[in-house]
Amino acid sequence: MGSIYATFLGNDLQQSISNISFEDFYIKNQLVTNFSFISSYEDKNNYNQLNLKPLRVPASSYPTIVNITATKMYASQFGEIGEFVITRTGNITQDLIVKYRIHGTAEDGVHYQSIANFVTITAGASEIPIIIQPQKSDYQGLKTVLLTLENLPKSSQYMLGTNFHAVVNILNL
């Protein structure tokens, strides 16, 4: 309704509304915990109004969501680097280790300088770059570096966002 307050209006000629319960009720990603219930009788009708007020939850308590984007998706052995950026939302007050798998037709350490299969986003930061520095080689054509974010086994440190994989293209002529 365009505001932080919402109203539930109930009207039942046969019986009154006497019990309304919500479990983990959210409005625009905010948990609602403050309710008020008003009943009135107007024009031979019984009206029930439920007012909802969202609980103000600090952003640091939202789940951490990680995404990856190729911000420089074309690289070459002639000085153009490729770049991925891993971002996080939610609590940024602690370091966060994000794991990813390395795929593609380009070989790590052969067609580009070797990269680790994880990064640490430091406390206070919401993103970190991963640089793809192509190496001189005899091949010609197109090679790809595909990074896919991974969930940590038995951990809830972060959840994957909609952008959980990205590609950088290495072109050598």
pLDDT, averaged per 10 consecutive residues of the chain (173 residues), comes to: 44 51 57 58 59 56 90 93 97 95 96 96 98 89 96 87 97 83
Res 2: pLDDT: 40
**Token couple for 94:** 């602690």
First to last CA, the chain: 57
- Neighbouring-strand partners of residue 53: 34
Both tokens assigned to 77? 């052995």
pTM (two decimals): 0.65
Per-residue pLDDT at 164: 97
For residue 27, which of 50, 42, 6, 9 has the smallest C-alpha distance?
A: 6
pLDDT for residue 32: 61
How far apart CA 132 and CA 129 sit, in angstroms, is 10
